[in-house]
């Protein structure tokens, strides 16, 4: 996870930042699987990484600047601001060790059997809508690039 964070923070190109996000998501999903939560691991990959990649695709296709550069001052200010917010939260976080449980979600698996077919239908509908949105953004991008070439 640390490697993914470093790639994300210090990359100049947004394409390498996406690689950092994927490294973070994959490492966290491996940790979830090691603790016995494979469902949360799958949710993390599908929802978080998939959603971030769709947003990344929209933003890179609609941007006018092909190779953006990052400014060091913005990175330093972001680091200081995040430390001001995160450090007090970490040191005030009190979790009793006895209440932690690493047992799988046995009773919740029964709910999965109850909702499996409707959830599969909803998942297919959402995937189809996202595919149509992706095709729309790609067509808008192609029109956008051709209009920029005509202006030159």
Q: Would you list the domain boundaries of the chain?
A: 1-89, 112-152
Of 24, 25, 29, 30, nearest to 6 by C-alpha is 24
- Helices 14-34 and 2-10: crossing angle in degrees, nearest 10, is 170
Higher pLDDT, residue 61 or 129:
129
pLDDT band at 12 (very low <50, low <70, confident <90, very high): confident
CA angle 119, 123, 124 (to 5 degrees): 120
Q: What percent of the chain has pLDDT over 70?
A: 64
Residue 75's pLDDT is what?
77
Q: Which residues contact 5 (CB under 8 A, 6 or more apart)?
A: 20, 24
Residue 152's pLDDT is what?
45
pLDDT, tens digit, for every residue of 84-126?
Answer: 777 766 666 555 555 555 555 556 666 666 666 677 777 788 8
């Amino acid at each position: 996870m640390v490697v993914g964070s470093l790639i994300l923070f210090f990359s100049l190109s947004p394409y390498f930042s996406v690689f950092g996000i994927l490294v973070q998501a994959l490492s966290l999903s491996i940790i979830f699987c090691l603790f016995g939560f494979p469902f949360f691991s799958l949710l993390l990959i599908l929802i978080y990484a998939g959603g971030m990649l769709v947003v990344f695709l929209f933003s890179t296709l609609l941007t006018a600047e092909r190779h953006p550069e990052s400014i060091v001052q913005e990175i330093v200010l972001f680091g200081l601001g995040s430390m001001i917010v995160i450090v007090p939260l970490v040191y005030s976080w009190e979790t009793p060790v006895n209440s932690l449980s690493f047992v799988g979600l046995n009773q919740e698996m029964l709910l999965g059997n109850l909702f499996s077919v409707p959830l599969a239908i909803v998942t297919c509908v959402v995937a189809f809508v996202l595919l149509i949105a992706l095709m729309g953004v790609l067509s808008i991008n192609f029109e956008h690039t051709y209009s920029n070439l005509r202006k030159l």
